[in-house]
Amino acid sequence: MAMNDTTRLRIAIRIHDLVLHELGEDVDIALMLGPAEYARAVLSLCRSCGSDELARLGEQFRRASDEDTQRQRSQQITRYTDAGDRAAFAQPRP
């Protein structure tokens, strides 16, 4: 598990615990780490519920998720670039 994944998991667990304690609602930790739509809905709840700690944790989770997304995009670009370089070398010359 990457460092950022561990950070996101730690924050998601804390959000889960606080939302359950303060609002009586259950947050699915696995879904927080999965589809962005679910995480956005939970983060919206964190911002709007009136808890400073939940708002802070929601912002931390968002930043960690943004960093993770940027890292994944960078890795994809590197893979595509590397694949393109290999393809260029494999083409016969006239």
The tally of domains found in the chain comes to 1
* pTM (global) more than 0.85: no
User: How far does the chain reach from its first CA to its final CA, in angstroms?
Assistant: 47
Whether 77 maps to a domain, the answer reads yes
* Structural domain includes residue 90: no
Structural domain harbouring 17: 3-83
> If 0-12 CB within 10 Å is exposed, 13-18 middle and 19+ buried, where does residue 36 land?
exposed
The pLDDT, as a whole number, for residue 66 is 86
What secondary structure letter does DSSP report for 49? Answer: S
Residue 76 pLDDT greater than 90, yes or no: no
**By the 8 A CB rule, do 19 and 25 touch?**
yes
Per-residue model confidence as pLDDT tens digits over 23-42: 999 999 999 999 889 999 99
User: Has residue 88 been placed in a domain?
Assistant: no
Alpha-carbon distance of 80 to 43, in angstroms, equals 33
Asked if residue 93 belongs to a domain, the reply is no
Which CA distances in Å does 16 have to 22, 37, 63, 64, 75?
Answer: 10, 16, 18, 16, 30
On whether residue 94 sits in a domain, the answer given is no
